[in-house]
Amino acid sequence: MEVLRYVRALEMEIEAAGVKLEIARLEYADELKSLRKTVASKDREIRRVGDELKLAIERLGLGSANSSKPPSTDGLGAPKRAVRLATGKRRGGQPRHPFHARALVDAAACATVTEHRPKACRGCGAGLTGEDPAPLRHQIVELPRPVPRVDEHRLHSLRCGKCGVVSRATLPDGVRGRGFGPGVEATAATLAGSGRLSHRTIQDLMRDLFGVRMALGTVPALLRRASEAIAPAVDEAREFVRWHEGVKNVDETTWYQRGADGSNEDGRKAFVWVAATGPVTVYDIALSRGQKVAEGLLGEVMTGMLVSDRYSGYRYINIEKRQLCWAHLYRDFVRISERTGKAGRLGQKLKKVTERLFRVWDEYRNGEIEAPMWESVTTGIRMRIRGLLEHGAGYATRKDERSETTRTKNTCRELLGVEPAMWTFLTRPEIGMTNNLAERSLRHAVLWRRTSFGSQSESGAETVARLLTVVMTMRSRGESAHQFLLEACESAHEGRAGPSLVPASQRQDESRAP
């Protein structure tokens, strides 16, 4: 009996120990499950922080070589722009390049023409006579000392001997009650628009170069009058661009404009837009970068062909009328190539194929390859790039991820959505592959912004846009912007119609526009 009781007691202890062990196992299982959830959560948090860190590092590395940021924002340690492919050529003039001599002025336009003849032979010393039908012409260009012309008008006041009323003479017709004439207005506008000079610098140069003294506040007044004088010509140019059926290169960048109350010292963020065509280049400054501004610049129903970047403000335009800038696309591919993993490998492939496309394009333009070869090569390049984009768009990613793979996938999908606009230049070679014309036109405005820190009012922004339109339009034609401004200011003073920025032949063509 003792043995049985002992065995029974032992069984009960074993059973109790088993129960305790099962309870402990259940408790540890719950704790282990909770611990696993915590580890998984921390793992997700680590991945999220890692993705955000990679994104932050990528943003810090953005510059003109791998994004749409302008070169002016690059730091001192920024790498060279990757868009300029290595050619192996040294800087400066290339061997056997054509010689360009200074053009001589017609003899009739010279102030003096002096004939110099040798008196004796340099060989034997005998006297020389006769005429040289084609003498060597040597011209010296000199600027006369500028002296401002000052016209004084004296308005006498006389008292009537009969009624005692005092009457004062008035200025005759054609003489306005302003202290400066159209030449001063045009010169100040040229210094501002072409030279991108500040008001104080214009004040100093007008005194130093021409002996014209004026108050600092007079400078913006002169610019405002010049702006009013060229307003009709600029409005006509903007209307011409809206209905122009040729190629329009469009771009935009930041500007700064102080609010109407003048309370914002730093100025509100605005944007300067440019639309460059062959004959005319127009600008607009607005407080928005939205589609409405693009519609005002290009028209709600755009005619002609548009060359631009991938900015969403141009999506309302039919994709068949668009050409995406390959310089911007190449920078997108460079940015992808700087990522890690399969995204970086995809970017490297896209980058190399695009570099090949640029080389083939240069060879075709230089006549080094024929049209059939060009068409064959570009067809293969297009299929290769589309295949790479489709591969990138098919990457498996989670919706909540912000990883490099996810960003690459989104970029590839966006590019596939506008893929036809990447290749319009294949059937319209005159369009070109890049938006270089608009970017070069916008560069002048960027340099002006950096020296002037923007505009102080809405009217000041309009003055800047009008002066940019005149200066860059005339510069693109190789004509004098100062002469245009002078003629416009003289016309405004005399109350007659001013000059036009639109060439006469283009005005006749565009007059049929609805």
Strands (E), 85-189: 157-159, 166-168
Residues 6+ apart with CB under 8 A from 50: none
By DSSP bridging, strand 268-276 and strand 281-286 are: antiparallel
Read off the pLDDT band of 429 (50, 70, 90): confident
325 pLDDT higher than 60: yes
pLDDT for position 148: 87
In this structure, how many other beta carbons lie within 10 angstroms of the beta carbon of residue 456? 17
CA gap 166, 145 in Å, rounded:
44
3-state SS string over 416-442?
HHCHHHHCHHHCCHHHCCCCHHHHHHH
266 pLDDT higher than 70: no
78 pLDDT higher than 90: no
Beta bridge partners of 308: 324
pLDDT for position 299: 86
Contact present, 363 and 369 (Cβ < 8 Å): yes
pLDDT for position 262: 45
Q: Which of 62-71, 88-97, 127-136, 305-314 shows the lowest mean pLDDT across its residues?
A: 62-71
pLDDT digits (tens, 9 = 90+) for 391-400: 988 876 665 5
pLDDT for position 281: 94
| Structure tokens given for 496 | 């007659």
pLDDT for position 407: 85
Q: Which amino acid is located at 142 in the chain?
A: E
Q: 454 phi and psi, to 5 degrees?
A: 95, -160
Nearest to 54 by CA among 404, 354, 494: 404
Q: What is the mean pLDDT of residues 158-178?
A: 85
pLDDT digits (tens, 9 = 90+) for 233-257: 999 999 999 988 889 999 999 888 8
Read off the pLDDT band of 451 (50, 70, 90): confident
| Structure tokens given for 480 | 């004098």
| Structure tokens given for 317 | 């335009």
Burial of 314 (0-12, 13-18, 19+ CB in 10 A): buried
Read off the pLDDT band of 430 (50, 70, 90): confident
Q: 98 phi and psi, to 5 degrees?
A: -65, 145
Read off the pLDDT band of 22 (50, 70, 90): low
Higher pLDDT, 354 or 264: 354
CA gap 155, 103 in Å, rounded:
49
Contact present, 214 and 203 (Cβ < 8 Å): yes
> For the whole model, what pTM was predicted?
0.77
Residues making up the chain, counted from first to last: 514
CA gap 442, 354 in Å, rounded:
25
Burial of 176 (0-12, 13-18, 19+ CB in 10 A): middle
Read off the pLDDT band of 259 (50, 70, 90): low
pLDDT for position 489: 94
CA geometry: angle 398, 400, 402, nearest 5 deg = 90
DSSP characters over 228-282? HHHHHHHHHHHHHHHH--SEEEEEEEEEEE--TTS--SS-EEEEEEEEE-SS-EE
Continuous H helices in 120-248:
182-193, 199-210, 218-243
pLDDT for position 408: 87
CA distances from 33 to 23, 36, 46, 350 (A): 15, 5, 20, 45
CA gap 335, 346 in Å, rounded:
11
pLDDT digits (tens, 9 = 90+) for 471-506: 999 999 999 999 999 999 999 988 889 999 998 877
Q: Which of 31-35, 60-64, 361-365 shows the lowest mean pLDDT across its residues?
A: 60-64
pLDDT for position 263: 45
